[in-house]
Chains A and B, each alone.
Chain A
Amino acid sequence: MVKNIIDVRNLSKSFDISSKDPGLKGTIKHFFRRKTKSLKVIKNISFEIKEGEVVGFLGANGAGKTTILKILCGLIYPSEGSILVSGYLPFRRKENFLKNITLIMGQKQQLIWDLPPIESFYLNASIYDLDKFEAKKRIKKLSEMLEIDEELFIPVRKLSLGQRMKSELLAALIHEPNILFLDEPTLGLDINAQRNLRKFLQKYNKETNATICLTSHYMKDITSLCKRVICVHNGTISYDGELDQLLKKLSPVKEILIVCQSEEDAIKLENSGFTVVNKNKNEITIKIKNNSITSSLKAILNNFEIEDLYINEPPIDEIIGKILIKKDYDL
């Protein structure tokens, strides 16, 4: 049985924030007397993540997904609840725990700006107690996986965003962590760089059985990497389960474009009881429930003269978008 590597029970986090009324009066009032209030950004959430799992955290801006990652990696203290990551309390930041994890934040860098990335890699290697021989071996292996070579010797400030992100990944993975926290890792990257990064993460997960917790606004990151998603809405979990199940629940029907051989066939099909979305001469678009697609298509092919047909999956961004804006979406 695969063991839980992350165990979160009744986790809550509040931040004290100060508010200020607009205008000069508000500014003066704010100077003499600050109004602060406690804002609960994570509200009593619980979940577990198994070793080797890749889990995507979905949610609108400000939903609390990045805060969850920051708590899991020990960057910020939780206000309530219990968390165990790899058997450690993250916020204590014990050396052995820190050697097991990494956090990558899109567009936030740890590489030294004026030096080539290779210098930062050796620095990180020494911080994680790797000897030079082992560091060299790992840099070689990771740079091959990430397909970077000459870039290692060019000052960071002269690298493109994609090259820099790859170098950031290498710096963050040199100690071979078995838990990766990735906060928007593909932010700002072009399509090819995004695809390469996803390919790399898939490979890394497969080769090392590392657990990956990921937040991203690019649905492609989620769909190609994560089997399981946790949807966060206003600091609470609105869904925790398989991505496929979520998509089926949110989009129970598919649209099918059928090209009939004649317009008469299209009219016959229109009147045969299917829900018609659109009709144009011999082309007709109908809606069919996911659970009756096979039987419905069989019936159509047997009873009508069909030239061609296309099954349209609704855009995943659109489906996920629905749960980002509404908590009580029927999940």
Chain B
Amino acid sequence: MISDLINHKIFTLLKVQYSNMLEYRVEIALWAISGIIPFFMLNIWTNNNLNESINISDIMLSRYFLCAFFVRQFSVVWVVFSFEEDSLMGKVSPYLIQPLNPFFRYFAQHLAEQITRFPFAIIIAFFFFIFNPESIWVPNIGILFLSIISTFLSFLIQFLIQSIVACLCFWTEKASSIERLLFIPTLFLSGLLAPVVSFPDYVKSWIYLTPFPYLIDFPANLLSGNAINVSGGLSMQILWILLLFPAFKKIWSEGTKKYTAMGS
């Protein structure tokens, strides 16, 4: 049953969404370029020698921010905005009466976009290494494999969080405003602006109890070869998915009872 779903429905969805994404290749290149916040942060950190305070070398820091860029590229989620628009325009209605949860469509859309982004991200990394040749490194195959898994788990966590927020569209039409509230801790606590290790110890212990450091900081540290607790990080990612998935199912089932099929 599950393998059928993956082989047939999801694969077809992915294929179709990939074709659709290729229609927007220029936009995707621009989105990829717009995700270069980690490089600005790297610049701020190195120019002000901030890394000395946390005992991270310039090379390790630049690798970290490059990895943060990569993780961000392959875990960025916008399902709340798509679902909100579709919900307000009545586009969700035809999907709701099909034997496939509409969120699979959005899931495939995200994966398809990630595949489309991949070459652009590689090109950006290529230019990064031209300007920072000392940062070039080749992660070992095991670490690379675990990093890919960790990045995918990060994507799943973000997708589930946003899907839960998106389901609030059934109660309030502007669920994206709630997502904007979540964006603040995501920005500061995920490791996008600064490695979580740079926070004071008492703050860090609290941060690690939230899902945020497992979105970028953990996979980026893993890929860049920093010393971290791999099994602990992966377990936390899986734990968050196990907590968020039933929450999503519950809110979806309650929300669809409230659906009024607006705009259709």
Contact = CB atoms under 8 A, between A and B. Distances in A.
A126 B9 contact: yes
B33 interface: no
A95 B99 contact: yes
B99 A127 contact: yes
Interface string B88-127: 0011011111111000000000000000000000000000
Interface string B172-208: 0000000000000000000000000000000000000
B12 interface: yes
Contacts of B261: 70, 75-76
A306 interface: no
A114 B4 CA distance: 27
Interface stretch (A19-27, A100-108, A297-305, A309-317): A100-108
Contact of A75 (B91, B93, B100): B93
Contact of B260 (A76, A112, A120, A127): A76
B264 to A, nearest CB: 5
Given A108-B91, A112-B20, 15 more contacts: A74-B97, A76-B260, A91-B257, A103-B94, A105-B90, A108-B93, A109-B91, A109-B94, A114-B20, A119-B16, A120-B16, A122-B12, A123-B16, A126-B9, A126-B12
A75 B261 CA distance: 7
- On chain B, which size bracket covers the interface? 20 to 34
B20 A101 contact: no
Interface in A85-137: 91, 93, 95, 98-99, 101-103, 105, 108-110, 112, 114-115, 119-120, 122-124, 126-129
A149 B19 CA distance: 21
B259 A75 contact: yes
B91 to A, nearest CB: 7
Given A75-B261, A127-B100, A110 B12 contact: no
B100 to A, nearest CB: 5
B14 to A, nearest CB: 10
A110 B13 contact: no
A77 interface: yes
Given A123-B16, A127-B9, A98 B98 contact: yes
20 contacts: A70-B93, A75-B96, A75-B261, A77-B258, A93-B97, A98-B98, A103-B93, A105-B93, A105-B94, A109-B94, A110-B94, A112-B16, A114-B23, A115-B20, A120-B16, A123-B16, A126-B11, A127-B9, A128-B99, A129-B99
